[in-house]
Amino acid sequence: MTPSPTVPVALRWQGDATGHLELVDQTLLPVRLEWISCRDVDTVVEAIKSLRVRGAPAIGIAGGYGLVVAAGEAVRDRMTLDRGRGHILAQAERLATARPTAVNLRWAVERCIAVLDRLPDDASTITMAEALLAEARVIHDEDRRLCAAIGRHGAAILPRGGVLTHCNTGGLATGGAGTALGVITTAWDEGRRFEVFADETRPLFQGARLTAWELVQRGIPVTVICDSAAGHLLTTGRVAACVVGADRITANGDTANKIGTYGLAVLAVAHGVPFYVAAPSSTFDLSLETGAEIPIEERSPTEVTNPLGVIAAPDGARAYNPAFDVTPARYIKGIITEHGVIEPVTRDRIRAVLATPSR
């Protein structure tokens, strides 16, 4: 495959306020690149739950556009104002709860609903749809800009040497160039050259299927390793830093991310390798004091016993399949945001950095 300079975006809106959302079906990568047309809310919810679209920022954006789809349903079905508003609010809750751990999803949905609350009581359903589309596009555009800022801040502090990442945090997981992967690609675009290692990220292999695919598309060499090989790799001195994303960060800096992140952080600290988290401010949930309060999604055991449709365990064996774990703040060297780098990771430093203008 000939590498291209850009990676396809995760999602896009087609048409006007009664148009539809299109998503890359990430469950088919890296074998096929196909788009899904979401013309009803059921399709959007299914796409989020089944990980056809995934990554905290991307599912937040999808949730915002999903509300536009709901408003379009109200317009096409010629609902009355009260019924149309009620339909949108009901679909908003379905969208917001499609996946429980990533805070960006509910944040984006509630931000769009706030726009409805500012409309006149007699606003038509098409007016509601237009207002929701405008806000969803703002959220999408904001994410592009903050990904670029995260990339700049992260590249500036990335030490010389190899970089190890976990799961997927690039253009497929966000509305822009990515968070943790955006740090890596920004440094590469600035002329830095280094080894990039990607944990395969079991049980769904997002690192092997998606991160490696994005890097190949960009022409950046990547080495995929088994998750269980990370400890050995860190002993070799080939890794100068670990950079990962986040799905929710609490007031004290505890960070929920894809399962396996916690173990990688412990290994990195044990080997004196700095462990960084890259995430936008929308991923912070300051209403939660510590990571113990973060709801952890548990997914189907078949993802473990039959990964990617391959029988990997005997009939009768049970599986435990938490989709995320929580890395305590004490293991995190710094959190890279669009506002700058939070270091050290403390409550006071988090509030101070998030209060500064993004740059």
Tokens describing residue 21:
């959302």
Tell me the angle at which helices 103-117 and 56-76 cross, rounded to the nearest 10 degrees.
40
The model's pLDDT over 51-67, given as tens digits with 9 standing for 90+, comes to 999 999 999 999 999 99
The count of other CB atoms within 10 Å of the CB of residue 283 is 26
Distance CA 263, CA 286 (A): 24
Q: Reply yes or no: is the peptide bond before residue 5 cis, omega within 30 of 0.
A: no
pLDDT at 352: 97
Q: What is the pTM of this model?
A: 0.94
Phi–psi pair at 284, nearest 5 degrees: -80, 135
pLDDT of residue 4: 43
The class (CATH top level) of 151-354 is alpha beta
Q: Using an 8 Å Cβ cutoff, are 144 and 244 in contact? A: no
Domain range annotation of the chain: 11-144, 151-354
- Per-residue HEC secondary structure of 3-48 comes to CCCCCCCCEEEECCCCCEEEEECCCCCCCCCCEEEECCHHHHHHHH
pLDDT of residue 5: 52
Q: How far is CA 20 from CA 14, 76, 103, in A?
A: 5, 12, 24
User: Could you give phi then psi for residue 18, rounded to 5 degrees?
Assistant: -105, 20
Q: What angle do CA 145, 149, 151 make, to 5 degrees?
A: 115
In the set 143, 199, 227, 247, the catalytic residue is: 247
Q: Please state which architecture CATH assigns to domain 11-144.
A: Up-down Bundle (1.20)
The percent helix, strand, coil of the chain (3-state, each to 5) is 45, 15, 40
Specify the pLDDT at position 37. 98
Tally: H helices and E strands in the chain: 12, 14
**Own/partner long-range contacts of 75-79 (Cβ < 8 Å, ≥24 apart):** 75/17, 75/18, 75/125, 75/126, 75/129, 76/18, 79/125
325 is an active site residue: no
Enter the tokens of residue 319. Answer: 């599986």
Closest by CA to 207, choosing from 162, 244, 182, is: 244
Checking DSSP bridges between strand 223-225 and strand 255-258, what pairing results, if any? unpaired
- Spans of the chain below 50 pLDDT: 1-4
